[in-house]
A and B are shown apart, each in its own frame.
Chain A
Amino acid sequence: MNLLTIIGESLRALRTNRLRTGLTMLGMIIGVAAVVLLISIGQGAQSKINQSIATMGSNLFIVLPGATSSGGLSFGSGSVKTLTVGDSEAIAELSLVEATAPVISGTAQLNYGANNWSTTITGTTPDYFNVGNWNIESGTFFSESEMRSAVRVAVLGKETARNLFGQEGATGKIIRVTNRPFLVIGVLEAKGQSLSGRDQDDNVFIPLTTSERQITGNQFPGSIRYMMVQAKSAKTMDEAEAEIVDLLRQRHRITGDMENDFTVRNLAAIADVATGTAKLMSLMLGAIASISLLVGGIGIMNIMLVSVTERTREIGIRMAIGANRRAILTQFLAEAVMICILGGVAGIILGISGAWIVSQLADMLIVITLGMVVLAFAFASAIGIFFGFYPARKAALLKPVEALRYE
């Protein structure tokens, strides 16, 4: 029998018991749909993290005031004022360090005409934009001289610009920052979410000096909230970290067993951890979904075994009129594989639709790749062959007389 005939025969056999075929197929549909849906969610999460990392800037450290144990991950403890602009300038001189950017931050109310918007205000040096891998969309960053003379200029994050100006161009306009007029000199390109899930575009940047003297104020002159440090090379990150720690301990007069009053975090390492976690999550989601596929496969095997027993007489008749072992084997194998292929196609469609709905409802990034669809399909077919083989072999090994005599 040629392949087309075998497929035709198996489809006919499947049609004669629609409900059973449908229910068996449902196991496959759910399994494949789960695989497609969960993997696309996993890949979505992964690619989102990759996007954040790509915008992050390379070879970065963030240096925070306060000891690791007390400072924790939060930027906002604010009570410790041990880091200064002087520290930042000293670190910038280190041999393995490319540049540093001290930051004072807080929240500020911005007004433009009738629009007002409350956002994070970041007072920093011009190096910040380089270190943080920021690109300007229109206008310019502020300069070293604007920084020194503490002029009232502002660079807006994309989201802030949209909220204040809508479609209108922002550059050259005067806005009010906590009621002081500032000239908007530039708008940044959008970056999206950071690794920690913060919207990096909802921000306004002003010179550090301006911020210190006019906006956030400062009880401890020269102290900063944190600083970004860019190392010269990815290869010497660890050595650079040691240099920074040594220098700060020296500057802060910390000796012997005394605890550091600052924390150095390697952002590349954090990014690695995040990527690893996302990969692991992807893998685990896929594995969990695969279990449902496996269960579907066992369902197919079960139903095929029942079918072989029920159709023992049919098998006997077929053998009597000339079917050889291979013909019987392929017939039953084809039935199992057809269930899987049809269920697989339906499952892929269902999974993709499900992924789309999830992306719409939950505002999640979903990534569906052709490779993944092909993989799900191949996996489904493989399950059909694997779980269909044993029942089909059982059918093929029946003895003709015994099969014919079966009641």
Chain B
Amino acid sequence: MLPVRPSTSSQPLIKIEHLCKSYALDNQANGSLNSQVLFDINIEIGQGEFVAIMGHSGSGKSTLMNILGCLDTPSSGRYWFSGQDVAALSGDALAQIRNRNIGFVFQGFNLLKRMTALDNVATPLLYAGMSRASSRKRALEQLRLTGLTDFSLYQPNQLSGGQQQRVAISRALINQPQLILADEPTGNLDSQTSCEIMALFQQLNREQNITIVLVTHEDDIAAYANRLIRFKDGRVIHDESVT
């Protein structure tokens, strides 16, 4: 298993070429049917970029995010993460990349139920091989940085949406990843809380040079990013830097 090191400036963090994704739909009436969701995507994202992905529902944004996050594999085309060909990596190596190099933030928060905020944040450290005691210490520190010290012993169902999303972000950050993938992170939040979450992302991007790729439907959320990629029917129709 090759440890993935932070990329040098010459190498993009993410590079995808001619990436396609199709799903085989098993349908009893029609037999097997292929539905293509992504068509020939070519994207490069460098370390420290803040990218917003937009496009209407069903255009394939989440599908792309899952592939970027090594949760799913492309049907064809290639994907290099930090210069490594992802297709060549074993399942364990992919798990390690998800653990150490990528942090996920989901629309539905996806916290582990019946576990305190503290334990939720500490879990990636356990998978990284840390002891429970030191992982809790680190998690508490992370929660302090995201302003959740008082809620560390709350369980997800005792927290507001905004608080849950902050816990999820703390969890994404705990292993100091180079990349944060956020699929509609503010989709379930009111505009006030959305702004707070986005401010947090912006701060992480500016102060720690963490690469952020974010999917959103809202222009004012996308406005936090410095680059905008638009999707339509599985194709990139627009890709430009905004300042």
Contacts and interface: CB of A to CB of B under 8 A. Distances in A.
* A-B complex is real: yes
Interface of A: 1-2, 4-5, 8, 12, 16, 313-314, 316-327, 399-401, 404
26 contacts: A1-B126, A1-B129, A4-B132, A5-B126, A5-B131, A5-B132, A12-B115, A313-B110, A318-B123, A320-B69, A320-B104, A321-B98, A321-B104, A322-B96, A322-B98, A322-B175, A323-B95, A323-B99, A324-B92, A325-B92, A327-B95, A400-B71, A400-B72, A400-B98, A404-B71, A404-B110
A320 B98 contact: yes
Interface of B: 66, 69, 71-72, 91-92, 95-96, 98-100, 104, 110-115, 123-124, 126-129, 131-132, 171, 175
A289 B69 CA distance: 51
B99 A2 contact: no
B188 to A, nearest CB: 16
Nearest to A4: B132
Contacts of A316: 110
Contacts of A319: 71, 95, 98
Cβ-closest 6 pairs across A and B: A322-B99, A324-B95, A322-B127, A400-B71, A401-B72, A321-B124
A294 to B, nearest CB: 32
B79 to A, nearest CB: 15
Nearest to A313: B110
A400 B106 CA distance: 14
Contact of B91 (A1, A16, A325): A325
Given A314-B113, A319-B98, A320-B71, 20 more contacts: A1-B129, A2-B129, A5-B131, A5-B132, A314-B112, A317-B111, A318-B112, A321-B98, A321-B127, A321-B171, A322-B98, A323-B95, A324-B92, A325-B95, A326-B92, A327-B95, A400-B98, A401-B66, A401-B71, A404-B66
A317 B112 contact: yes
A401 B71 CA distance: 5
Task: Name, among B100, B128, B132, the residue most crowded by chain A CB atoms within 10 Å (CB to CB).
Answer: B132
A16 B124 CA distance: 21
Contacts of A4: 132
B124 A322 contact: yes
A328 to B, nearest CB: 10
Contacts of A317: 110-112
Contacts of A323: 95, 99, 127
B110 to A, nearest CB: 5
A325 B71 CA distance: 13
Contacts of B111: 317
Nearest to A327: B127
Contacts of B98: 319-322, 400
Contact of B123 (A2, A321, A404): A321
B71 A1 contact: no
A399 B95 CA distance: 12
B164 to A, nearest CB: 13
Task: Name, among A320, A324, A399, A401, the residue most crowded by chain B CB atoms within 10 Å (CB to CB).
Answer: A320
A325 B98 CA distance: 13
Nearest to A16: B114
Contacts of B110: 313, 316-317, 320, 404
B1 to A, nearest CB: 10
A401 B183 CA distance: 13
Nearest to A324: B95
A19 to B, nearest CB: 15
B128 to A, nearest CB: 7
B67 to A, nearest CB: 9
B150 to A, nearest CB: 23
Contacts of B123: 318, 321
A322 B98 CA distance: 5
Contacts of B171: 321
Contacts of A8: 132
A322 B100 contact: yes
Contacts of B92: 324-326
Contacts of B175: 322
Contacts of A12: 115
Nearest to B63: A401
A319 B123 CA distance: 11
Contacts of A1: 126-127, 129
Contacts of A326: 92
A204 B95 CA distance: 84
B232 to A, nearest CB: 22
A144 B141 CA distance: 99
A399 to B, nearest CB: 8
A349 to B, nearest CB: 30
Nearest to B90: A324
A8 B131 CA distance: 12
B16 to A, nearest CB: 17
A320 B99 CA distance: 8
Task: Name, among A2, A16, A314, A401, the residue most crowded by chain B CB atoms within 10 Å (CB to CB).
Answer: A401
A322 B114 contact: no
Nearest to B113: A314
A356 B28 CA distance: 62
A326 B66 CA distance: 22
A320 B71 CA distance: 7
A401 B110 CA distance: 13
Nearest to A317: B110
A314 to B, nearest CB: 6
